[in-house]
A and B are shown apart, each in its own frame.
Chain A
Amino acid sequence: MDGQLILSIGEVNAHIRALLTTDDVLSSVYVRGEISNFKLHSSGHMYLTLKDTEGILRAVMFRGSASHLAFRPENGMKVIAHGRVDVFSRDGQYQLYIDELIPDGVGALYVAFEQLKAKLSEEGLFDPAHKKPIPRCPMKIALVTSPTGAAVRDMLRILKARWPIARIRIYPVRVQGAQAPGEICKGIEFVNRYRLADLIITGRGGGSIEDLWAFNDEQVARAIFASQIPVISAVGHEPDFTIADFVADLRAATPSNAAELAVPDRIELAAQIAHMQARMIQSQRNRITVLRQRIEALAGKRVMQDPKNYLADRQMALLHLTQRYEQALIHATQQRRERFLRIAGMLEALSPIRVLARGYAMVQDEEGTIIRQANMLDKDARIRLDFADGAALCRVEETLLEEHDGREKDGK
C-alpha cells in the first residue's frame, strides 16, 4: 500500500472501460457466433449471448437497432454481429453492443424473406381462395409505383397501345428505401378508399434484392391482401419473386408483363365482337332458313294447295272403302254357298231314298213305325214297303226268326 492508489470499483470499471473503448478493434468489430439465451425485452431491447466452441460473449441490441432487423433472431441461429465492446459497470461485465445483426451463412434478407413468407402463408394470405378475379376489361387502372423510371413508362406505353380507353391514374410512391413500404400501403389504401380504379398494378423495375425490398415488406403484403380492388404485382424481372407477388391476385413477371395481363387488346377485342356479331347473324339466319323450309314443306302438301283436294281425297278414300266392302261381301257369300253345297251333298249321301234306290225297301207298320226286326211283326200284320219309285201294301204270311249266338229260335 505504500503510496499505491486505492481505487473504487467504479474507478476500476471506468479504467477498463477507457481501455476497451479506445481500442480500434473493439470499437467496431464483427463477431461470428451462435445465439443463445435470447430475450426480447418489452422495452424492445434484445439481450443474448453469442457463443462458439471457445467461449461466450454477452451482447445487447437496443431497440433503435433491433427494430430495423429484417428477421427474428432465435436461439441456435448462427449470426454475424457488428458492434462495439463496452463495459456495463453495474454488473462488472463487458459486452457487445450490437448495431447490426445478420444471419451467418445465408443472406439476412433471404432469411427474413423466408420467415415472412412462412408466416403470411400460415395466416392464409396467399390462399388462392382469397384471390380476386382480374377484370377482363378494366376501365380504370391505378398504378401505385414510381412516376419516373422505365417501369411506369413501359406500363403506360403498353396500356396505351392495347387499351387506351381505360383511365389511368398514377399514385406516385417511392419504390425503394425506408419510406417506400409506407407510401405503397398508403397508395393502395387511397385508391381503395375512393374507388379510383377497378384494377391496381403495383411494382417497380428490376434491381438488387435490397432495391426490391419494399415489396417484401409485411405491411405492403397486408395492404395488398386488404385491397378490395384486385392487385397485380409487377416487381423486377422474371426470376424475382417477392412477398407482394405471393399475396397479389395476379403476379406479373415484369411491369410490361403486368400491363399486358391487365388489359385486353382493343383491336383483338373489336375483332372478337365482330366475330360474335357474325355468329349471331349466321345463327339467326340459319334458324329462319330452317323454319322457312319447314313451312315450305308443309305448304307443299296437296291439302294445303287446294281445299278441293281435301274433299277429292276423302271421296277417293270412301270409294276405295266401298269397293273393299263389296268385295268382302261377295267373297263371304260365295264361301257360304260352297259350304252349303258341301253339306247338302253330305246330306244327300245319307238320304234313305238313295238307299232304297240300291234295292233296299223300308218297312213300316200301320202306325208308320219303322220295322227293323222280324220279331216286331206278327202273322197277318199289315205292312207297307217303300221302294225308291213307290210303295206296296202287304200282309205278313209268316215270320222266320233266325237262330244265332246260341239263342233259341222264337217261333211265332
Chain B
Amino acid sequence: MDEKKTENKMSFEQGLARLEKIVALLERGEVPLDESLALYEEGAGLIKRCNAALDQAEKRVSILLQGEDGRIQEQVFDPNADYGL
C-alpha cells in the first residue's frame, strides 16, 4: 500500500505529543534560553505541520472487494451499492 512512503519521520500523533511536551517544557521555564528558543522553533514547526494535516481535504472512503481473480481490490465506497451482502 502507498501509505509507507508518505509517512514522514513523525506521525501526526507523535507530532502532537511532542508539541504538548514542548509547551510543557517552555511553560516550566527551566531550560536554558538558547535551548528554549530551539524548542520554540521546533514547536512552531510542529504547529504548522499539525495544522496543515488538519486542513487536509476530506479523504474518500474505500471498500475492499474481492475481484474475479480472487485478489482483494480497493474501490471507492458507494453507500448506496449492494455489494452482494
Partner-B contacts on A (CB < 8 A): 135-137, 139-140, 146-148, 152-153, 156, 160, 164-174, 190, 194-196, 266, 269-270, 273, 276-277, 279-280, 283-284, 286-287, 291
A-B contact pairs, 15 of them (CB 8 A): A137-B12, A137-B13, A153-B79, A164-B59, A170-B77, A195-B3, A196-B1, A196-B64, A269-B16, A269-B54, A273-B16, A273-B19, A273-B54, A286-B29, A291-B33
Q: How far is the CA of A333 from the CA of B53 in the complex (A)?
A: 90
Q: Are A276 and B64 in contact (CB under 8 A)?
A: no
Q: Are B65 and A156 in contact (CB under 8 A)?
A: no
Q: Are B33 and A165 in contact (CB under 8 A)?
A: no
Residue of A at shortest CB range from B53? Answer: A165
Contacts of A270 in B (CB 8 A): 51, 54
Residue of A at shortest CB range from B81? Answer: A147
Residue of A at shortest CB range from B28? Answer: A283
Q: Are B81 and A165 in contact (CB under 8 A)?
A: no
> In the complex, how many angstroms separate the beta carbon of A229 from the nearest chain B beta carbon?
13
- Tell whether B69 is near chain A: CB-to-CB under 8 Å: no
> In the complex, how many angstroms separate the beta carbon of A204 from the nearest chain B beta carbon?
12
Interface SS of A by simple majority: mixed
Q: How far is the CA of A139 from the CA of B26 in the complex (A)?
A: 29
Q: Are B51 and A170 in contact (CB under 8 A)?
A: no
Residue of B at shortest CB range from A149? Answer: B85
Besides the known contacts A173-B85, A277-B44, A283-B27, 9 further A-B residue pairs in the complex with CB atoms under 8 A apart: A135-B13, A147-B83, A168-B62, A170-B64, A171-B63, A273-B16, A283-B23, A284-B37, A287-B26
> In the complex, how many angstroms separate the beta carbon of A161 from the nearest chain B beta carbon?
10
Q: Are A280 and B58 in contact (CB under 8 A)?
A: no
Contacts of A166 in B (CB 8 A): 59
The 0/1 profile, CB within 8 Å of A marked 1, for residues 48-85 of chain B is: 00110110111111111100000010100101011101
Contacts of B40 in A (CB 8 A): 280, 284
Q: How far is the CA of A172 from the CA of B20 in the complex (A)?
A: 38
B16-48, CB < 8 A from A:
16, 19-20, 22-23, 26-27, 29, 33, 36-37, 40, 43-44, 47
> In the complex, how many angstroms separate the beta carbon of A53 from the nearest chain B beta carbon?
50
Q: Are A136 and B77 in contact (CB under 8 A)?
A: no
Contact of A276 among B33, B47, B53, B77 (CB under 8 A): B47
- Tell whether B8 is near chain A: CB-to-CB under 8 Å: no
Contact of B61 among A156, A172, A283 (CB under 8 A): A156
> In the complex, how many angstroms separate the beta carbon of A272 from the nearest chain B beta carbon?
9
Q: Are B56 and A165 in contact (CB under 8 A)?
A: yes
Contacts of B12 in A (CB 8 A): 137, 139
Asked, given contacts A135-B13, A156-B79, whether A171 binds B50 with beta carbons under 8 Å apart, the answer is no
Q: Are A195 and B29 in contact (CB under 8 A)?
A: no
Nearest 5 pairs of A and B residues by beta carbon = A164-B58, A170-B63, A283-B26, A168-B61, A137-B13
Q: Are A283 and B58 in contact (CB under 8 A)?
A: no
Q: Are B16 and A136 in contact (CB under 8 A)?
A: yes
Q: Are B61 and A279 in contact (CB under 8 A)?
A: no
